[in-house]
Structure 1
Amino acid sequence: YVRGADFWERSLQNWQSEFLAVGAMIVFSIYLRQQGSPESKRVGTPNADHEPTY
């Protein structure tokens, strides 16, 4: 089964969709942090000093 073309086609399609989803999350998190989102902490602030806003 591993040597079949169907296995590799499905594996690469799954990898491609996961790669795009994770890449989009990384880009959006960087963008929101740079824009000063109220849900993000300042770059130099330790995690213990950050109070989440609800």
Structure 2
Amino acid sequence: MIPLRDTIPARRFPIVNTAIIGLNVLVFLFESALPSAQLNRLILAWGLVPAQFW
């Protein structure tokens, strides 16, 4: 089971974790604002197909 919390306080603010979450939110908002045709081109250009990768 994954622990939800512990009794040891964090010494500093999780900057990298917050930056990754913020970047994911920005990418999501960017993709949701694209028209369908541009979104399809973006997925074809940057999407990963496991069968082609392995």
Please tell me the TM-score bracket, short chain as reference: 0.3 to 0.5
Which structure would you say has the larger RCO, counting Cα contacts within 8 Å and 6 or more residues apart?
1
Report the structure number with the largest CA radius of gyration. 1
Give the TM-score normalised by the residue count of structure 1: 0.45
Give the TM-score normalised by the residue count of structure 2: 0.45
